[in-house]
Structure 1
Amino acid sequence: MPDLTTPKARAKLPTGSKPHPLKLGIGRFLCYRRQTDGKPGSWLLRTAKLSGGYTYETLGTADDQLDANNRDVLSYEQALAKAAGQTTADPSRVSVADALDDWAEWKCRTASTDKQCTDLRNRARRLSAPFPRKTLKTITARDITQWLNGIVSTGDNPQARRATANRELAVLKAALTRAADLHAYQGTRAWVNVQKFPKADSFGKRMVILTEEEEARLIDAARPDVADLLRALQATGARFGEIASTLVGDLEGNRLALTGKTGRRVIVLSPEKAEWFRLKAGNRPSSAPLIPRQDCKPWPDGGHLKPVSAAVRAAGLPEDVTSYALRHGFITRALSRGVPTVAVAQHVGSSVEMIEQTYAKFAAAQLAEWFG
């Protein structure tokens, strides 16, 4: 049983989203959750549900750093008394911050590197900052909309900021929905009614498209392992994370299995591309990364950003070029050759709607001019 009685004792407990429980009675626990960033921990009441699982209610902040006041900052004795006076946990009082922290720890279970976990936790803290003391019940669509508008108004490129706002909104919605489902929250889910900015994903850096000659210059300017990564992206139209997680065993003949944000799919390679991937696989074990870093380890999340930027500079290309431009180039060339949109969408792991909305502005004549 954990010692929760003093700040000094609690400081010895592991950090993370998993709370440390102290049993109060049948199905009821006083829990302490220690934060990962040096902030004070929190007191929770955990109550077993008849249908299985638990509901949680945040009781207050622990007196790890501030003196207890028996209101929002609670000592062990005060938290115990408050928990003892309540018979059930109220899921409507689950805070936005707790929901995001839980989401980050849940995502960390499948993270490939410690850095990825750190990034997830930092993102959760950043997203929760605009919603202090907000809960599943008290957060409103207006709160979220004002926050999104604030993201767009920050910076010199509002169109690119819309795409950023959409990505942040997707994480917030996922975290709140997961918390509501886990805690059997029955109230209004205000976040469901907030819509993302239309067509924002086609704005900004993510829509840079290179000619084949420019792509060749970029690859030639990159260090060897980065060049292999870029060639793999160019050959498949895949996302970075899909190539980074692909193993030698995922290559079978002219078929390559990719796993990413849309799940697992198998793509068909031309004979030349299949041969190139076979050479990269060599005689290495099936569990080895197919396209590794120069140290033979898998690419970490974001590990390609700096070396790709260096290659962009060395190739004399615009500074807003990223590796994602190779995916855009693959898709636009496929469309220019008359490949059906549904086939392109299936190959690159996207939807027909996204392909049509994002690339509709490129007329066939333009594509022929650029890539013919």
Structure 2
Amino acid sequence: MRFMDSVMDLSRIGDRGKLKPRAGDEPHWQRLRVGCYVGFRPSRKGGKGTWFARAYDADKFKYVRKPLGDYGALDGNDVFTQAKKDAEGWADQVESGGVRAEKVETVTDACKAYLKDRPGSIAEGVFRRHVYDDPIGKVRIDKLRRHHLREWRKRLESAPALVTRNKGGKTLTKPRSQSTANRDMVPLRAALGRLLTPGAPNTDAAWQEALKPAKGADRRRELYLDRAERKGLLAAVEAEAAPFVRGLCLLPLRPGTLAGLIVGDFDKRTRALTIGKDKNGKPRQITLPSNIADFLTKQSKDKLPNAPIFTRRGGGAWNKDTWKGPIKDAVGKADLPAAVSAYTLRHCVLTDLVTAGLPVLTVAQISGTSVAMIEKHYGHLVGDAAAEALAGLVL
């Protein structure tokens, strides 16, 4: 680092405007404190330029840096003030060991860095199918603009959605719905949001605008099976899949989460079930009633701690390609609506919990979703219960 960097004052708008791009696109740095710098790279095309943070990582014995964006939504002295604040905040994280800094240059790099911090099969699948081999993956983070992501979104929305893949058989697909596209955009939006600040609205720098979810796409689930219909489904399902389907009827878990449970996740002495992997990435623990605990104890009998609680013939775990067939067949035998799926059963469990009067916060916690989502999809049930309670106050 040059000596001039340590005395440079990037807060002066006029002086900053006179800076020339450096060889190798190296930013101009201003020292904020020992081991902490804020940097500015002038645009070669007359744009606003890009800001950077630089901090000393004692664990790696070297400086690391992070792009902060161009702060397109800000003007005047507010630009430097925000860049300084962001650089100091990031340096604090690096110095405390809270950031595993690494070289992130492209969108692909950003996605892989995101997975290291927040591993998850859903995000990994989206990146593998729609980012790594797509032109968007090669775009540099500091060059990323709204038009890049708009074109990517068009490709995503036109790509068929996988229905099922049978070994040795035909791969079945369907047109991608807006709700599916909304869900597929979430991991990329999260990965980019860790590195970039929102650009100025209604400009090409506003990368975030291209990833806004389509409104009205995520509709409330309406299909509900009462207890008698669920019993009919259990009676019709084949013996191999019966324990797994019964588990869907007893626990407010996503099908993939239920399939991923291992024997070591369940403590029969305390009746505690630990869910370590789920869509939200946060582990949680549920204390089970004795009847459900007895059911899991039976499923776990004579299995090793790392074995799935719910197994197929041969000891393998269930997945979306293996549970769809048995459930579909049982739905037909029980004369239930053709749209019934594994997720329908989770919806039924959540509906019963809400209508039973369990607080929305508790339902959200044990089901691994947000209060906002529970209120969005099940809030009308709380309203119905409140109306009935008010009716009971009539004198």
TM-score norm. by structure 1 comes to 0.59
2:384 is matched with which residue? 364
Instruction: Judge which range, 323-332 or 208-217, deviates more.
Output: 208-217
Query: Conserved in 1, the CA contact under 8 Å of 2:198 and 2:206?
Result: no
Shift of the 139–288 alpha-carbon distance from structure 1 to 2, 3 Å rule, reads: same
Query: Conserved in 1, the CA contact under 8 Å of 2:263 and 2:309?
Result: yes
Give 1:132 shift: 8.2
Shift of the 119–190 alpha-carbon distance from structure 1 to 2, 3 Å rule, reads: closer
Shift of the 295–104 alpha-carbon distance from structure 1 to 2, 3 Å rule, reads: farther
Secondary structure class of the residue paired with 1:266: strand
Aligned residue among 121, 140, 155 for 2:145: 140
Tell me, yes or no, if structure 1 residue 307 matches structure 2 residue 326.
yes
Query: Conserved in 2, the CA contact under 8 Å of 1:107 and 1:120?
Result: no
Aligned residue among 208, 223, 238 for 2:223: 208
Aligned residue among 259, 268, 277 for 1:244: 259
Secondary structure class of the residue paired with 2:240: helix
Letter in 2 for 1:261: K
Identical-residue share of aligned pairs (%): 25
1:257 is matched with which residue? 274
1:338 is matched with which residue? 357
Give 1:133 shift: 6.4
2:71 is matched with which residue? none
CA distance in 2, matches of 1:152, 1:220: 39
Question: Which structure has the larger Rg over C-alpha atoms?
Answer: 2
CA-atom RMSD in angstroms? 4.2
Give 1:125 shift: 5.2
1:169 is matched with which residue? 185
Secondary structure class of the residue paired with 1:317: coil
Aligned pairs for 1:1-372 (under 5 A) are 50-52=62-64, 94=106, 96=107, 98-99=108-109, 102=112, 121-124=128-131, 128=134, 131=136, 134-141=139-146, 143-144=148-149, 148=153, 161-177=177-193, 181=195, 190-193=206-209, 194-198=211-215, 200-203=217-220, 207-253=222-268, 254-259=271-276, 260-262=278-280, 263-300=282-319, 302-362=321-381, 364=384
Give 1:282 shift: 1.2
Give 1:142 shift: 5.2
Query: Conserved in 2, the CA contact under 8 Å of 1:244 and 1:289?
Result: yes
CA distance in 2, matches of 1:319, 1:91: 47
Shift of the 105–331 alpha-carbon distance from structure 1 to 2, 3 Å rule, reads: closer
Query: Conserved in 2, the CA contact under 8 Å of 1:199 and 1:357?
Result: no
Letter in 1 for 2:287: V
Shift of the 104–351 alpha-carbon distance from structure 1 to 2, 3 Å rule, reads: closer
Q: Could you tell me which runs of 5 or more consecutive residues in structure 1 were left unpaired when the two chains were aligned.
A: 1-47, 56-89
CA distance in 2, matches of 1:219, 1:103: 43
Q: Deviations over 1:182-227 (max 9, x none)?
A: xxx7895744444323464335xx6532222222222222222322
Shift of the 220–120 alpha-carbon distance from structure 1 to 2, 3 Å rule, reads: farther
Give 1:356 shift: 0.5
Letter in 2 for 1:166: N
CA distance in 2, matches of 1:118, 1:195: 20
TM-score norm. by structure 2 comes to 0.56
Query: Conserved in 1, the CA contact under 8 Å of 2:237 and 2:329?
Result: yes
Query: Conserved in 2, the CA contact under 8 Å of 1:233 and 1:243?
Result: yes
Secondary structure class of the residue paired with 1:224: coil
Query: Conserved in 1, the CA contact under 8 Å of 2:198 and 2:207?
Result: no
CA distance in 1, matches of 2:227, 2:351: 12
